[in-house]
Amino acid sequence: MQNNKSYFNLSASLKRLLAGGCLLLSFLVSSASVAGTTLYHIVSEQELATLTKDNVYTPLNFAKEGYIHFSKLSLIPYYANELYKGESAKKLFLLKVTFSDDDKNLKWIGDNPDYYIGLDLSMVEQKTQFIKDQNNQWILPSQDL
């Protein structure tokens, strides 16, 4: 039987080249921008109407927290039902925003995307009204989001 170990013996310069390529690929993957991702923000009709000035929406808790919380679509029903239980809001909207790759105001802490300036409403791609089901729970509308 033939020894195949020599097949895997690479020259030192080729090993360095491969290691450098792997390192570069690792860096690119780990530092890849999450901007360009579509995110969502829940807002009541009253909040959107009263907290918008010069077409920029800034929620009440912005002064205290310093950011606007956005979420992935999968977390929206949970947040809607936790933050707007019962009759605390008659009408909710879901704002859909896709952030550009160079938007330095979008920052992620774990899986939580936050936007650190007021939201220019011209960035909103879609404003969709939430509905409640027969159990008085907020549910995502059936239209494409």
**Of 108, 33, 45, the residue nearest 71 (C-alpha):** 108
Q: What is the pLDDT of residues 91-112, one digit of tens each?
A: 899 999 999 878 999 999 888 8
Residue 53 has pLDDT above 60, yes or no: yes
Residue ranges and CATH numbers for the domains of the chain are: 38-139 (3.20.170.20)
Residue 33 has pLDDT above 50, yes or no: no
Bridge-based pairing state of the strands 68-69 and 112-115: antiparallel
- Average pLDDT of the chain, as a whole number: 79
Q: What is the pLDDT of residue 40?
A: 96
How far apart are alpha carbons 69 and 104 in whole angstroms? 15
Residue 122 has pLDDT above 60, yes or no: yes
Tell me which of 36 and 55 has the higher pLDDT: 55
For the entire predicted model, the pTM comes to 0.71
